[in-house]
Structure 1
Amino acid sequence: MATHQPTAAMPPMMYGTAWKKERTADLVYEAIKAGFRGIDTAAMKKHYDEALAGEGIRRAIREGLVSRRDLFIQTKFTPLDPTSPYSMSDPIPTQIHSSITSSLTNLSTPDHSPPYLDALVMHSPFPSIPQTLEAWSALQSYLPDSPDPSRRGKIFRLGISNVTLPVLHALSSSHPAAPPTIVQNRFRAAERNWDRDVRAWCSSQQGADVKYQGFWTLTGNVATWQREGGFVQELAEKAGISKAAAWYVLLVEAGVVVLNGTGDRGHMKEDLDAWGRVKEWRRSEAEGEEGWEWCWERFKGLIGD
């Protein structure tokens, strides 16, 4: 199914807002100021403050840093969560509609009415496949192709997080016209060996433009990029970037959309600038391209690509 996306494309690195608490608005504003154009949040108060994420976005828009159409804004519906904006005693479709209505209000902007979401991600499957499929059917009513005029076009992409391959198969087979186009999972060796089976599924969905988003990519892999990954250190030294930024560059090159949750304003800019620094090294030094290939082949060997 075409996404009919009229606005910003999903950037290769998005700003993650989990666990920012009262700093959320300031950090989202600073992230946009540093150059981030993708914001990931969620409608669950336990780990996110979606309303403050919206406040930071609106501040950046009011100051003329960006417009709504420059940004890829993504939030989540969280099943079975007492901190989310719905009643857990309501039917699943009602829970979803309550959550989305709240998210559209929290993430509205002064320069675009009515509000819309570039993406809505189901934070996890429900405990059973039938419940998950029921939720997915409700989410589809917000897509551009929906027959429901009151909801149509309020969301442009649907995704699912913390998901396994059997659930993806169930969703894509039951809803072939609107399968997940975002899969957001932990990207670690401990998680099904770099989540190889799920990443392979994403790559196999020809024509669906499925994006694999990785979280915990940095903090969940410290031993790899900080101590064991000699190729990461090599890339960092040659390109003049930090090892964390070098790790991010390799992830993006592998097709992983990185969720970056740094609270350091300097790191925001450094991480976003890393691609340009690597390209400059590859282009300007005689052995730059050969050095890049050496690092890249070892990284691919590590994650199984």
Structure 2
Amino acid sequence: MFRNSLSRMSSQLQMPKIVYGTAWKKERTTELVIAAVKSGFRGIDTACQPKHYREDLVGKALSTLIAEGVVKREEMYIQTKFTSIDGQDQSQPLPYDSKAPIPEQVKQSIATSLKNLGVDYIDSVILHSPLRTREQTLEAYRTLEDFVSQGKVRELGVSNCYDPKVLKSLIVEAKVKVGVVQNRWYEGNGWDWAIHDICQQSGIRYQSFWTLSGSPTLLRHPALINLANKYSLTPEQTMYKICQIWNITPLCGSTTLSHVNEALAVEGATGLKEDTPEVKQLWDAMHGV
């Protein structure tokens, strides 16, 4: 189905097998990130996009956690995004000059992220989506590549990229390897298998969002329910574990501590593997076999 070797990132870092997502947390961001990290999360996803994220409050959480000795900076996988003007709410203060050329927008956005997060480097920066044209997308990515050469960013990627031609073009033209694709993975887009397949073929880690909320039918599938019962997991835990088996890193954005702990506990389900019959049954069902 896929290459097991892809569970290891091509960069010097190891991406956690599950990442805490901070979208729409607003004023609770600091509190929730602290709770997630204290529970065991070591990957945090945010964005330099005030419309949906409080990147500055993620930074406040990191500062508190490091000061308290809960974690060291190098133990955390921090990911943020450059959001083009099309994804920003221009009624709010922007993280860059919207009238500046794209390379300058990217530079200002990264400077803002470094300041917001209170860090010297960012583990992963991804384009929040492809820009309006192929040329603009590459222009933004090229600017991010400069930050990799400077040691300010360690890995690059793209989000909300559902056109295989766009992703393949970026893969071919990138000087710094595309390391991450973060997309909706849910019933509404047929679980994005075309992009997932490209990621598997190219050694790119696929991150999923809407993993649970976007697939209510899947969570009720008999094969998944059987797996949950067999391994004493909830259906939600089972879905997270299956993602990990399929080289998908799910984002968990729960605001409930019990659900946060349940998500982390899937690491203990070591008996659930790729060749488990119900896993193969789910794979076939989701691929229309």
Q: State the match for 2:168 in structure 1.
A: 169
User: Where does the alignment leave 5 or more consecutive residues of structure 1 unmatched?
Assistant: 110-114, 147-151, 283-287
Counterpart in 2 of 1:212? 206
Q: Is the 8 A contact 1:16 1:40 kept in 2?
A: yes
Q: Give the Cα–Cα distance (whole angstroms) in 1 for the partners of residues 125 and 285 of structure 2.
A: 31
1:267 aligns with 2:259: yes
Q: 1:10 aligns with which of 8, 15, 18?
A: 15
Distance (whole Å) between structure 2 residues aligned to residue 37 and residue 224 of structure 1: 28
Tell me if 1:179 matches 2:177: yes
| 2:30 equivalent in structure 1 | 25
Distance 1:127 1:289, change over 3 A: closer
Contact 1:76 1:121 in 2 (8 A): yes
For 2:69, the equivalent position in structure 1 comes to 64
Task: Tell me if the contact between 2:240 and 2:263 (Cα under 8 Å) persists in the aligned partners.
Answer: yes
1:233 is the counterpart of 2:216: no
1-side partners of 2:230 and 2:70: how far apart? 33
Alignment of 1:68-107 (within 5 A): 68-80=73-85, 81=88, 82=90, 83=92, 84-107=94-117
Q: What is the CA distance between 1:3 and its match in structure 2?
A: 6.0
Cα distance in 1, alignment partners of residues 276 and 262 from structure 2? 22
Q: Deviation digits for residues 161-195 of structure 1, max 9, x if unmatched?
A: 011211112212222x323110011001321x211
- Secondary structure of the equivalent of 1:203? helix
Q: Percent identity?
A: 37
1:301 alignment partner AA: D
Cα 1:62–1:293 shift into 2, 3 Å: same
Q: Which residue of structure 2 lines up, in the alignment, with residue 194 of structure 1?
A: 191
- The letter of the residue matching 2:206 is Y
After superposition, give the CA deviation of every residue in 1:104-150 in whole Å (9 maximum; x if it has no partner).
011125xxxxx10000010001111111111111111011xx3xxxx
Distance 1:220 1:237 in 2: 22
> Which among 47, 53, 63 is matched to residue 48 of structure 1?
53
Tell me the CA shift for residue 223 of structure 1.
Answer: 2.1
Residue type matched to 2:208 in 1? G
Task: State the Cα distance separating 1:303 from its structure 2 match.
Answer: 3.2
Distance 1:4 1:220, change over 3 A: closer
Q: What is the root-mean-square deviation of aligned Cα atoms in Å?
A: 1.9
For 1:213, what is the secondary structure of its paired residue? strand
Q: 1:274 and 1:173, CA in 2 relative to 1: closer, same or farther beyond 3 A?
A: closer
Shift of 1:155: 0.2
- 2:215 aligns with 221
4+ residue segments displaced more than 3 Å: none
In the alignment, what sits opposite 1:149? none
Report the CA distance between 1:4 and its aligned residue. Answer: 5.3
Summarize deviations over 1:21-55 as a string: whole Å, max 9, x none. 00000000000001000000000011000000111
Tell me the alpha carbon deviations over residues 66-88 of structure 1, each in whole angstroms, 9 at most, x when there is no partner.
10011100000101123540121
Instruction: Report the Cα distance in structure 1 between the residues aligned to 2:82 and 2:110, rounded to whole angstroms.
Output: 7
In 1, are the aligned partners of 2:273 and 2:279 still within 8 Å (CA)? no
The one-letter code of the counterpart of 2:195 is V
Q: How many residues are aligned here?
A: 274
Letter aligned with residue 31 of structure 1: A
Q: Is residue 141 of structure 2 the alignment partner of residue 158 of structure 1? A: no
TM-score normalized by structure 2? 0.90
